[in-house]
C-alpha cells in the first residue's frame, strides 16, 4: 500500500515515535499503539523501518502486527461501533441486538457503512458484564445498550 | 459538602459523567457549595449511576439517577435533605448488598478518590507496604504463605511459592508482572479495582517487589479497558510524586518502579507465558513450561506473574497478617473472593465475601435471580472457558476444589447467568468459535480442534446426533493435548452443556444462526 503522506515526513514522524519509546524494554507493542494512534492504522511502510530500528526481521514485525486484533492494516471509518459478543452480553440479547444493528446499518461485521462513516466491529468483553448488553460508540462505553441508543448515536455522527 | 458520583466505566456507560456535570451545575444554580468526588463504583451496578451525599459523616445513596432526575435531586440536597426522593436508598453502608460483604481487597473501592495518595492513606492505605519494609522479604513471603493466597486469575497456584522462587533465583534484574488482561466475559473485578483503587494494586506490586528483590514492575492491561489504563497511569504518577515508587520506596533502601503496558486485543495473552511474550514485543504465543516464569520470565529473567486480585489482596494480608486472611474461607480456598455476578441477573455487580457460599445463594439470594424474571437455566462460572453449571448443582460451594467436583472451575470468579431461553448448543458453538478466533496457533489440539469443534457442532445442529460422540472425543483430545488453558479448558463449557442439557443437542433439524464471528 502506498502512503498518502510525504515519505520524508512519514519517516520523521515514525522516527520520533521510535525515539519516544527508546528507554522501554520490549517496546514494539507500545510503538505499534503509538503508530496506530498517529495514522489510524499501522502502515505497511512502517514495518521495515521498525524492524531495522529494533533489530528484528521484517517478518517478525509483520508477525506481531498481524497477531493482534487491535492493529489495522488500513484506516477504519471515522467512527467505530463495537458491539460486545461475549457470553454475559449474549444472556441479555446481544445476538438479537447485533442482528438489529447490522440490519439498520446495512453492514456486516468489519464492514463500513455505504457513506463511509461507521465501521462495525465485534469485541469480546468490555468488562460491563453487569449492565449488558454493552457497546462502544467511538470512545464512549455504553451499558444496557439498545438499538435506540445505537441509532441515536449513529444519526448524530452522520449528521 | 461532599457528593460522590462514580467514574467507574460501568457507571460512565450508563451516564454518570452527564449526571456529575448536570448535578454540579444544578447545585451551583442553587448556591450550594458542594465538591463532587468521582469515586469508583460500590459494585451495585444495577443502581448506577449511584449518587451519594455525605451528611454528618454518613453517605446517603440515590440511584439509579438519570439526567432527568438531577434537578429534583439538587433541590433536595439544597434543602439539606438526604431522603424523601423516589430514588433514595438511605445510608449506603446499611444496604444489604454492602452489609453482607467482607470487603478486604475492595474496602476502599467506591469510597475514596481513586487517584489521590492522600485519600488512599487516610483510608488505611500504605500500612501494608510500611509493614513490609519493616519486616523484610522473608517475613513477607511467610505472611503470604500463611494467608493461603492462591492465584486469583484462575489457576489457583499458591502466590507465596512463586514469590519464594523468584526471591531465591539469582539474577541482577527481576520483575513483577501484573496480569490485568481480564478477558473473561462475566468478570470485571480487575477493572473495578484498577479504576476504583489503583493504589491498592500498586501497593501490592511494590510489596511483591520488596519481597522478591524485583525493582521493576509491569502492569499489562487489556486495551479494552481505557479507563483502567488512565486510572493506573495517573495513580502511578501520583505514587512516584509521593515517593511510594522510585529509587527509595517510602524512604527505605528498597527500589521499585513500574509502568503500564497495554495489550492489543488478544485473549490468549491472559495466559502468563503468552503475556510475557507480548510484553517483550512478540506475538502472544504460549511458551512451553518449564522453564517457569519465576526462573525465566520477562526477558528470560526471574519474574513474578500474578493476577490483579492476587496482588490486590496482598496489602491487607501484610497489614493484618496472613493468619487473619487464612482464617477465612473453606478447604484450600482461603480468604475472600470478589465474586462478579453478571449477565441475565436482577442485581448484578461485585460482591466480596469469604469462599464457601453456595452458588445458589450467590445467584438467587444475592443476585436475585434473572433480570428477565424467567427461571435460571444455567450459569457459566469462570469466563468463556468455564463450565455451564445447571440449577441442580447450585448447592456447590464457591471454592477452587469444590467447583472442580462439579467439573467446573472458579476462573476469575465471574458468574454469567442465563435464563431458560438460552440455547446451550449455540453457546457451545460459541465456546469453540471463540477458541478458534483466539487460539495463538502454537499447538494443534487448540488451533485445529476448535475449528473441527465448530464444524461438528454445526452438524449436530442439523440433526446429525451421531456426531455427539465425535464431539466428546474431540473435547477429550483438546482437554489433555493442549499446551495451555485456552485449548485445554474450551471443552469445559461444551462438555458441561452437552452433559447437563442433552435435549439442546438432540432432535435438531434447522440450521441455527451463527453464534460468533
Query: Which chain B residue lies closest to A121 (C-alpha atoms)?
Result: B517
Which segments in chain A show pLDDT lower than 70?
1-5
Residue A2 falls within a domain, yes or no? Answer: no
Neighbours of A115 (CB within 10 A): 8
Please indicate if any CB of chain B lies within 8 Å of the CB of A126. yes
Q: Give the number of A-B residue pairs with CB atoms closer than 8 Å.
A: 163
- Residues in chain B with CB shorter than 8 Å from the CB of A89 are 185, 343
Residue A92 falls within a domain, yes or no? Answer: yes
Cross-chain Cβ contact B9/A85 below 8 Å: no
Which segments in chain B show pLDDT lower than 70?
510-517
Verify that A99 and A154 share a domain, yes or no: yes
- Residues in chain A with CB shorter than 8 Å from the CB of B517 are 85, 109, 122
ipTM for the complex shown: 0.96
Please give the annotated binding residues of A, written as ranges: 84, 89, 125, 129
Please indicate if any CB of chain A lies within 8 Å of the CB of B434. yes
Verify that A83 and A152 share a domain, yes or no: yes
Tell me the DSSP string of B358-390. BHHIIIIIIS-S-SSSSPEEEEEESGGGSPEEE
Please give the annotated binding residues of A for [2Fe-2S] cluster, written as ranges: 84, 89, 125, 129
Please indicate if any CB of chain A lies within 8 Å of the CB of B349. yes
Rg, chain B, Cα only: 23
Q: Give the one of B187, B280, B419 whose C-beta lies nearest to A26's C-beta.
A: B280
Verify that A53 and A100 share a domain, yes or no: no
Cross-chain Cβ contact A92/B344 below 8 Å: yes
Query: Which chain A residue lies closest to B431 (C-alpha atoms)?
Result: A87
Percent of chain B's residues with pLDDT above 90? 96
Verify that A84 and A147 share a domain, yes or no: yes
Using CA atoms, how far apart are residues B240 and B250, in angstroms rounded to an integer?
10
pLDDT for the residue numbered B509: 74
Residue A42 falls within a domain, yes or no? Answer: yes
- Name the residue ranges covered by the structural domains of chain B: 2-93, 117-327, 332-419, 424-504
For residue B252, what are the CA distances in angstroms to B171, B255, B259? 22, 8, 20
Q: What is the pLDDT of residues B178-224, one digit of tens each?
A: 999 999 999 999 999 999 999 999 999 999 999 999 999 999 999 99
Query: Which chain B residue lies closest to A36 (C-alpha atoms)?
Result: B264
pLDDT for the residue numbered B445: 97
Verify that A63 and A86 share a domain, yes or no: no
Residue A74 falls within a domain, yes or no? Answer: no
pLDDT for the residue numbered A78: 95
pLDDT for the residue numbered A5: 59
Cross-chain Cβ contact A32/B434 below 8 Å: no
Query: Which chain A residue lies closest to B285 (C-alpha atoms)?
Result: A67
Using CA atoms, how far apart are residues B512 and B32, in angstroms rounded to an integer?
58
Question: Residue A98: which H helix or E strand, with range?
Answer: helix A94-105
CATH number at residue A53: 1.10.10
Please indicate if any CB of chain B lies within 8 Å of the CB of A97. no
What long-range pairs does B131-137 form, CB within 8 A, spacing at least 24?
B131/B318, B131/B319, B132/B206, B132/B207, B132/B210, B132/B211, B132/B318, B133/B210, B133/B249, B133/B250, B133/B252, B133/B254, B135/B318, B136/B210, B137/B167, B137/B210, B137/B211, B137/B212, B137/B213
Please indicate if any CB of chain B lies within 8 Å of the CB of A107. no
pLDDT for the residue numbered A1: 46
For residue A132, what are the CA distances in angstroms to A145, B51, B387? 7, 21, 20
Cross-chain Cβ contact A143/B13 below 8 Å: yes
| Cis-peptide into B190, omega within 30 deg | no
Select the CATH number that applies to the domain covering B424-504 from these four: 2.80.10.50, 1.10.357.10, 3.40.50.2000, 1.20.1440.230. 1.20.1440.230
pLDDT for the residue numbered B514: 52
Of B380, B426, B458, B501, nearest in space to A125 by CA: B380
Using CA atoms, how far apart are residues B366 and B354, in angstroms rounded to an integer?
14
Q: Which residue has 477429550 as its cell numbers?
A: B476
pLDDT for the residue numbered B284: 97
For residue A82, what are the CA distances in angstroms to A28, B155, B349? 26, 30, 23
Verify that A89 and A24 share a domain, yes or no: no
Please indicate if any CB of chain B lies within 8 Å of the CB of A54. yes
Using CA atoms, how far apart are residues B302 and B165, in angstroms rounded to an integer?
8
Question: Does CATH place domain B2-93 in 3.40.30?
Answer: yes
pLDDT for the residue numbered B5: 98
Q: What is the DSSP letter of B511?
A: P
Q: Which fold has domain B117-327?
A: Rossmann fold (3.40.50)
Verify that A120 and A150 share a domain, yes or no: yes
- Residues in chain A with CB shorter than 8 Å from the CB of B227 are 141
Please indicate if any CB of chain A lies within 8 Å of the CB of B499. no
Q: How many domains are there within chain A?
A: 2
Domain ranges, residue A58 = 8-67
CATH number at residue A131: 3.40.30.10
Q: Give the one of B224, B348, B422 whose C-beta lies nearest to A131's C-beta.
A: B348
B202: closest CA of chain A, how far (Å): 19
Q: Chain B window 39-68: which residues touch A at a Cβ cutoff of 8 Å?
A: 45-46, 48
Cross-chain Cβ contact B427/A125 below 8 Å: no
Contact of B174 with B166, CB cutoff 8 Å: yes
Q: Which CATH class is domain B332-419?
A: alpha beta
Cross-chain Cβ contact A123/B282 below 8 Å: no
Q: Which residue has 484450600 as its cell numbers?
A: B332
With b meaning 16 or more CB within 10 Å and e meaning fewer, what string describes B266-302?
Answer: bbbbbbbbbbbbbbbbbbbbbbeeeebbbbbbbeebb
From A31, A46, A67, the end of a domain falls on A67
Amino acid at each position: 500500500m502506498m502512503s498518502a503522506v510525504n515519505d520524508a515526513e512519514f519517516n520523521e514522524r515514525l522516527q520520533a515515535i521510535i525515539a519516544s519509546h527508546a528507554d522501554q524494554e520490549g517496546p514494539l507493542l507500545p510503538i505499534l499503539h503509538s503508530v496506530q494512534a498517529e495514522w489510524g492504522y499501522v502502515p505497511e511502510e512502517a514495518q521495515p523501518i521498525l524492524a531495522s530500528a529494533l533489530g528484528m526481521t521484517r517478518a517478525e514485525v509483520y508477525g506481531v502486527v498481524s497477531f493482534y486484533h487491535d492493529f489495522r492494516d488500513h484506516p477504519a471509518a471515522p467512527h467505530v461501533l463495537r458491539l460486545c459478543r461475549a457470553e454475559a452480553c449474549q444472556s441479555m440479547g446481544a445476538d438479537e441486538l447485533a442482528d438489529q444493528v447490522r440490519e439498520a446499518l446495512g453492514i456486516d461485521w468489519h464492514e463500513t457503512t455505504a457513506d463511509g462513516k461507521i465501521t462495525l466491529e465485534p469485541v469480546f468483553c468490555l468488562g460491563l458484564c453487569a449492565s449488558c448488553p454493552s457497546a462502544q460508540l467511538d470512545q464512549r462505553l455504553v451499558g444496557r445498550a439498545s438499538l435506540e441508543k445505537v441509532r441515536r448515536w449513529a444519526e448524530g455522527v452522520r449528521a | 459538602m461532599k457528593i460522590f458520583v462514580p467514574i467507574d466505566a460501568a457507571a460512565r456507560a450508563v451516564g454518570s459523567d452527564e449526571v456529575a456535570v448536570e448535578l454540579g451545575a444544578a447545585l451551583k444554580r442553587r448556591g450550594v457549595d458542594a465538591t463532587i468526588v468521582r469515586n469508583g463504583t460500590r459494585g451495585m451496578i444495577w443502581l448506577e449511576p449511584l449518587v451519594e451525599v455525605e451528611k454528618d459523616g454518613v453517605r446517603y445513596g440515590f440511584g439509579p439517577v438519570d439526567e432527568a432526575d438531577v434537578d429534583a435531586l439538587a433541590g433536595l440536597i439544597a434543602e439539606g435533605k438526604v431522603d424523601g426522593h423516589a430514588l433514595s436508598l438511605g445510608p449506603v453502608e446499611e444496604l444489604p448488598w454492602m452489609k453482607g460483604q467482607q470487603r478486604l481487597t475492595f474496602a476502599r473501592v467506591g469510597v475514596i478518590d481513586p487517584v489521590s495518595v492522600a485519600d488512599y492513606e487516610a483510608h488505611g492505605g500504605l500500612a501494608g507496604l510500611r509493614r513490609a519494609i519493616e519486616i523484610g522479604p522473608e517475613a513477607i513471603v511467610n505472611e503470604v504463605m500463611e494467608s493461603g493466597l492462591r492465584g486469583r486469575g484462575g489457576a489457583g497456584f499458591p502466590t507465596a511459592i512463586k514469590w519464594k522462587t523468584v526471591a531465591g533465583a539469582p539474577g541482577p534484574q527481576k520483575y513483577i508482572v501484573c496480569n490485568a488482561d481480564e478477558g473473561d466475559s462475566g468478570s470485571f473485578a480487575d477493572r473495578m479495582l484498577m479504576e476504583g483503587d489503583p493504589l491498592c494494586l500498586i501497593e501490592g506490586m511494590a510489596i511483591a517487589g520488596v519481597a522478591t528483590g524485583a525493582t521493576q514492575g509491569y502492569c499489562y492491561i487489556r486495551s479494552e479497558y481505557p479507563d483502567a489504563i488512565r486510572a493506573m497511569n495517573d495513580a502511578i504518577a501520583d505514587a512516584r510524586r509521593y515517593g511510594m515508587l522510585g529509587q527509595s520506596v517510602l524512604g527505605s533502601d528498597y527500589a521499585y518502579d513500574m509502568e503500564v503496558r497495554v495489550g492489543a486485543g488478544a485473549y490468549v495473552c491472559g495466559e502468563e507465558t503468552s503475556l510475557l511474550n507480548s510484553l517483550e514485543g512478540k506475538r502472544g504465543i504460549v511458551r512451553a513450561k518449564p522453564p517457569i516464569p519465576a526462573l525465566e520470565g520477562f526477558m528470560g529473567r526471574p519474574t513474578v506473574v500474578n493476577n490483579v486480585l492476587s496482588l490486590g489482596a496482598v496489602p491487607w494480608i501484610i497489614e493484618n497478617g496472613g493468619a487473619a486472611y487464612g482464617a477465612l474461607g473453606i478447604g484450600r480456598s482461603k480468604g475472600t473472593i470478589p465474586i462478579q455476578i453478571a449477565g441475565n441477573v436482577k442485581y448484578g455487580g461485585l460482591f466480596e465475601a469469604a469462599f464457601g457460599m453456595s452458588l445458589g445463594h450467590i445467584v438467587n439470594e444475592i443476585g436475585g435471580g434473572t433480570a428477565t424474571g424467567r427461571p435460571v437455566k444455567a450459569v457459566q462460572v469462570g469466563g468463556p472457558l468455564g463450565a455451564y453449571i445447571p440449577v441442580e448443582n447450585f448447592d456447590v460451594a464457591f471454592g477452587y476444589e469444590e467447583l472442580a467436583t462439579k467439573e467446573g472451575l472458579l476462573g476469575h470468579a465471574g458468574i454469567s447467568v442465563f435464563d431458560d431461553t438460552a440455547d446451550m448448543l449455540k453457546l457451545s458453538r460459541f465456546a469453540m468459535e471463540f477458541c478458534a478466533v483466539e487460539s495463538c496457533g502454537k499447538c494443534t489440539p487448540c488451533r485445529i480442534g476448535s475449528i473441527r469443534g465448530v464444524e461438528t457442532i454445526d452438524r449436530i445442529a442439523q440433526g446429525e446426533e451421531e456426531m455427539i460422540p465425535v464431539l466428546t472425543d474431540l473435547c477429550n483430545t483438546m482437554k489433555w493435548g493442549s499446551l495451555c488453558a485456552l485449548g485445554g479448558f474450551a471443552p469445559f463449557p461444551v462438555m458441561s452443556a452437552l452433559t447437563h442439557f442433552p435435549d439442546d443437542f438432540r432432535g435438531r433439524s434447522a440450521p441455527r444462526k451463527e453464534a460468533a464471528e
